[in-house]
Structure 1
């Protein structure tokens, strides 16, 4: 992949992530637009675009970090089969952590653990779907690495939002998660296409 393709991937990912964050923010975050008025709306959209762009930049760092991690792990574990098993274990571990520790940290007396299972399960299903399409477009061995990247790496990138107690608000969590999902999905699905056209 040449420099031109890397630059294209960088800016297109940032643009799509920013748009994803702005759209979901405009739909969900009412306080930003509560005062009304044209300039308040413009400011709100620009602010959300900035947040989305910043979050998508984090997603890009996570993607290239995973590419490096994958190469190092393949040399460390010697066989792809063993590394795939480790990735499956880590997916299960992160799934458990994502609902259980958030339940311990934020649940009130009348809340059940079931409510904290919804988002991790939806994210797991989404990651599996993206990995399935990645596998269809490339090869059978791409499923587990793509699944791992979309679930585990996205969750790690999402961690700063999850750890801030003040924003344990589903709206803010989605404002942070949406650009990550958009950017990570785009990077994963665009990478092999860009390489094929290089």
Structure 2
């Protein structure tokens, strides 16, 4: 893989993240858009579009940083744990999935039902499983666990700042671009290497 392909991957992922962030904002905050449609306030609408586009771009940059950090972590893990690295990854996945339910539920002090945290975590796991299956199908079976690790663990680490924000709006605005960008990078990497 040459520099031109890496730069192309960067720009495409950046664009994908920006669009995903903007489209997500239409579903997460439709009221803000509606307020500026009646009466029509063009400058405010442009500001909203730029803000949410920028937030999606930010999520994309976070995703790309996490992806390149993961490439280093994976090689480091292979060197350190050798044949036990897949087992370590599975244990870390289980730990992160447990943490995604336990800690936010405790932080909410029972105000939010634990079912919502279980559903959120299950959704992340299902999407990650699907992406990992696609990666393993297009490359080889041994790519499944590293791909699942990346989609669950690294995505969760990237998502932490939005999870700590007040309310769920920023969590939704961040997770959708993160999942899309991470899945895109993971599935595109081996295609770039083949080309």
TM-score with structure 1 length normalisation?
0.92
Moved runs in structure 1, 4+ residues, more than 6 A?
Answer: none
- Name the residue aligned to 1:8: 8
Partner of 2:127: 126
Aligned residue in 2 for 1:77: 81
Question: What CA distance in whole angstroms lies between the structure 2 residues aligned with 1:58 and 1:24?
Answer: 17
Q: Distance in 2 between matches of 1:22 and 1:107?
A: 32
Q: Distance between the aligned counterparts of 1:64 and 1:136, measured in 2? A: 22
Structure 1 residue 43, shift from structure 2 partner = 1.9
- Answer yes or no: is the 8 Å Cα contact 2:163–2:170 preserved in 1: no
RMSD of equivalent CA atoms: 1.2
Q: Write the deviation string for residues 52-77 of structure 1: whole angstroms up to 9, x where unpaired.
A: 00110010010000000000110111
5 Å matches for 1:20-169? 20-33=20-33, 34-36=35-37, 37=40, 38-79=42-83, 82-109=84-111, 111-164=112-165, 166=166, 168-169=167-168
Q: Of 185, 188, 195, which aligns to 2:186?
A: 188
Contact persistence 1:26–1:45 (CA under 8 A): no
Instruction: Quote the offset at 1:31 in angstroms.
Output: 4.2
Residues paired across the two proteins, number: 191
Unaligned 5+ residue runs, structure 2?
A: none
Unmatched runs of 5 consecutive residues or more in structure 1: none
Q: Where does residue 178 of structure 1 map in the other structure?
A: 176
- TM-score, normalising length from structure 2? 0.94
Q: Please give the alpha-carbon distance, in whole angstroms, between the structure 2 residues aligned to 1:172 and 1:56.
A: 14
